[in-house]
Amino acid sequence: MDLKLKVWRQSGPDEAGGFVAYDAKEISPDMSFLEMLDVVNERILEEGGDPIAFDHDCREGICGSCGMMIDGVPHGPKSMTTVCQLHMRSFRDGDQLTLEPWRASSFPVLKDLYVDRTPFDRIIAAGGYISVRTGSADEANAEPIRKKDADAAFDAAACIGCGACVAACPNASAMLFTSAKVAHLAHLPQGQTERYTRVLDMVETHDTEGFGNCTNHGACQNACPKGISVDYIAQLNRDLFRATVTTAADPVGS
Amino acid sequence: MRRVVNLYRSSVGKKILMALSGLILFGFIVGHMTGNLKVLQGCEPAVAGDHAAGLSVASQTCAIDTYAEFLREVGYPAVPHGAALWGFRVLLLGAIGVHASAAFQLWSRARAARTQGYGTSKDISFTYASRTMRWGGVILLLYVFYHIAHFTTGQAHSDFIAGGVYHNYVVGFQSPLILLVYLVANAALCLHLFHGLWSATQTLGANHPKYNHLRRPVATLLSLVIFVGFMTPPVLVFAGVIS
Ligand code: SF4
Ligand code: FES
């Protein structure tokens, strides 16, 4: 199949960028979207050009490195699918596609389709940890966890930190990501010690990193390749409120 | 206390203020709509047998006029005439102020969070309504100014009689243009509530796996009840059923 691409090219964080048209010719429908870009890049290299930069690592939908806007939708048209797991059979011969990086002031473009997502790392660092006894590991079954809680924690933990939620959000808010990280630990007994300080610290970091605020559009949930639900945002709001008006987040003995 | 200040400063705190002030305003809307339905009860002629057209207000007692008078007298004699009404107006004004200023702050935050927009973007929000909240809110605010000048203070009314609520109402809605204005405003209100009511449960963390699936239908139902409740009497006036 042959496609026409309109790709955002930007040589560096402080350079001006713009769209450049490329032909993607003789593409196999069995290729992944990133393999298609690899082919386009090979040809650009053959002609002595600068290949299109995009972030990727595992190419099996678990690391969260990849991601770009395809025709205005994060990770492209297929729901619950990262762009590395998206195959060219999802498109038709002759399609014209616009490829853009995530757009958020907190995610500056490093090059072309490649953005800097380190603000996510700082949100995690603000509260994504638990207090455990070091040394020999606990017996795995010593602490029973209700199936319901284990499932809720697991669903939240499925977040791969790709940033599609921010890209899709009309407010460029990272609340879905933050709520997944907060809820993941809030559902487990191991996460209780820091439960309320965690939510305060992570939301504060979310805000100081310059992400927008959630106004419940729900675009994030629809964009998320891991199906993280906005119910986790409601849960974050509840925990944040509780942390504010009760002594739950106070240090012991104060 | 420091945490409360932080919550206010945080993006979530602004949303909580948005939700709480919105709920106050929703409470008012429900009361206002129920009050308006008193128009359907019509009037009793004060002088027996006097059914002629063009009655002066004094010669008949209308259910809604009595109701409006009652609103002015709520709490009397414990509080002076009209004091409770004014207290309530101040509360509403406060709620609108909080709602609008939180909206403005959230809007400017969101603007700063994405300075460079997309070349191509597709709206994948849950509903269309959520994308109309900001402009819809501005439209509603402008409408409220007009509405007060029309039915409360009377400058925008062609034949305004102070205290003659029924008269003002019926005369007002005989014009197709005015009916249209109210139709558009109420449709905007309906859309605003449809997202706002659902959104408030989300913001206040009032969600539970058992009831989550009910939130959308309940928000839809409530916003439709408000729309139908507000629009029924004017349409009946326009159709000549109420005169
Ligand atoms: S919540 Fe979903 S869209 Fe957002 S970072 Fe995590 S996996 Fe990606
Ligand atoms: S490259 Fe790892 S998720 Fe796509």
Tokens representing residue B182 in the block = 């109210």
Across the interface, of B14, B124, B206, the residue whose CB is closest to A73 is B124
Residues near B220 by Cβ (< 8 Å), separated by ≥ 6? Answer: B194
Task: Please list the residues that pair with A96 across neighbouring strands.
Answer: A4
Mean pLDDT of A92-106: 97
Mean pLDDT of B182-196: 97
**Which of A 108-167 lie inside 8 A of B, CB atoms?**
none
pTM score, two decimals? 0.92
Distance in angstroms (rounded) separating the CA atoms of residues A27 and A17: 27
Residues near B16 by Cβ (< 8 Å), separated by ≥ 6? Answer: A237, A241, B7, B203, B204
Residue B55, phi then psi, degrees to nearest 5: -60, 140
Q: Which of A69, A123, A160, A166 to mutate to test the pocket of ligand 1 (most atoms within 8 A of CB)?
A: A160
Across the interface, of B6, B119, B124, the residue whose CB is closest to A100 is B119
C-alpha dihedral sign at B95, B205, A218, B194: negative
Where b means 16+ CB within 10 Å and e means fewer, B162-199 reads eebbbbbbbbbbeeeebbeebeebbebbbbbbbbbbbb
A239/chain B closest Cα distance in angstroms? 8
Residue B42 has pLDDT above 60, yes or no: yes
Contact (CB, 8 A) for A180 and A201 = no
Instruction: Quote the pLDDT of residue A75.
Output: 98
Tokens representing residue A168 in the block = 């899709």
Number of residues in chain B:
243
Instruction: Quote the pLDDT of residue B45.
Output: 78
Instruction: Quote the pLDDT of residue A124.
Output: 98
Does the C-beta of A228 come closer than 6 Å to ligand 1? Answer: yes
- Which segment of A38-47, A90-99, B38-47, B158-167 scores lowest on mean pLDDT? B38-47
Mean pLDDT of A168-197: 96
Instruction: Quote the pLDDT of residue B77.
Output: 84
Domain-wise residue ranges, chain B:
8-238
Instruction: Quote the pLDDT of residue A135.
Output: 85
A3/chain B closest Cα distance in angstroms? 17
Does the C-beta of A191 come closer than 6 Å to ligand 2? Answer: no
Residues near B157 by Cβ (< 8 Å), separated by ≥ 6? Answer: B149, B150, B151, B168, B171, B172
Other beta carbons within 10 angstroms of residue A162's beta carbon come to 27
**Does the CB of B198 have a partner CB in chain A at under 8 Å?**
yes
Contact A170 B133 (CB under 8 A): no
Across the interface, of B114, B120, B202, the residue whose CB is closest to A230 is B202
Packed helices A231-245 and A175-186: angle between N→C axes, nearest 10 degrees: 70
* Model confidence pLDDT, tens digit, residues B128-147: 999 999 999 999 999 999 99
What average pLDDT does chain A have? 95
Structural domains in chain A, sorted by start: 3-111 (3.10.20.30), 118-249 (1.10.1060.10)
Mean pLDDT of A44-57: 97
Q: Which residue of A has its CA nearest to B215?
A: A231
Q: Could you tell me the pLDDT band of residue A252, with boundaries at 50, 70 and 90? A: low
Residue B54 has pLDDT above 70, yes or no: no
Highest CATH level, class, for B8-238: mainly alpha
| CA R_g for chain A | 21
Mean pLDDT of A68-80: 97
Q: Which residue of A has its CA nearest to B129?
A: A217
Q: What is the 3-state secondary structure (H, E, C) of chain A?
A: CCEEEEEEECCCCCCCCEEEEEEECCCCCCCEHHHHHHHHHHHHHHCCCCCCCCCCCCCCCCCCCCCCEECCEECCCCCCCCHHHCEHHHCCCCCEEEEECCCCCCCCEEECCEECCHHHHHHHHHHCCCCCCCCCCCCCCCCCCCHHHHHHHHHHHCCCCCCHHHHHCCCCECHHHHHHHHHHHHCCHHHCCCHHHHHHHHHHHHHHCCCECCCCCCHHHHHCCCCCCCHHHHHHHHHHHHHHHCCCCCCCCC
* Ligand nearest to the CA of residue A177, numbered in listed order: 1
* Ligand nearest to the CA of residue A104, numbered in listed order: 1
Q: Could you tell me the pLDDT band of residue A20, with boundaries at 50, 70 and 90? A: very high
> Tokens 């408030």 appear where?
B200
Question: What is the whole-number distance in angstroms between the Cα of residue A227 and the centre of ligand 2?
Answer: 15
> Tokens 């420091």 appear where?
B2
**Does the CB of A174 have a partner CB in chain B at under 8 Å?**
no
Instruction: Quote the pLDDT of residue A139.
Output: 85
* Model confidence pLDDT, tens digit, residues A110-161: 999 999 999 999 999 999 999 888 888 878 888 899 999 999 999 999 999 9
Contact (CB, 8 A) for A236 and A206 = no
Q: Smallest Cα–Cα separation from B193: which of B99, B57, B93, B74?
A: B99
CB < 8 Å to A215, chain B: 15, 106, 110, 130, 133, 199
Contact (CB, 8 A) for B165 and B62 = yes
Q: Smallest Cα–Cα separation from B105: which of B10, B189, B203?
A: B10
> How many inter-chain contacts (A to B, CB under 8 Å) are there?
148
Contact B130 A235 (CB under 8 A): no
Mean pLDDT of B146-166: 91
Contact (CB, 8 A) for B170 and B237 = yes
Residue A3 has pLDDT above 90, yes or no: yes
Percent of all residues in chain A with a pLDDT value above 70, rounded to a whole number: 99
Does the C-beta of A109 come closer than 6 Å to ligand 1? Answer: no
Instruction: Quote the pLDDT of residue B60.
Output: 79
Does the C-beta of A182 come closer than 6 Å to ligand 1? Answer: no
Instruction: Quote the pLDDT of residue B53.
Output: 45
**Which of A 180-239 lie inside 8 A of B, CB atoms?**
200, 203-204, 206-207, 210-219, 221-223, 230-231, 233-239
* Model confidence pLDDT, tens digit, residues B95-128: 999 999 999 999 999 999 999 999 999 999 999 9
Q: Which of A75, A80, A84 to mutate to test the pocket of ligand 2 (most atoms within 8 A of CB)?
A: A84
Instruction: Quote the pLDDT of residue A253.
Output: 61
Instruction: Quote the pLDDT of residue B74.
Output: 86
Residue B206 has pLDDT above 90, yes or no: no
Residue A179 has pLDDT above 60, yes or no: yes
- The yes/no answer to whether this complex scores an ipTM above 0.85 is yes
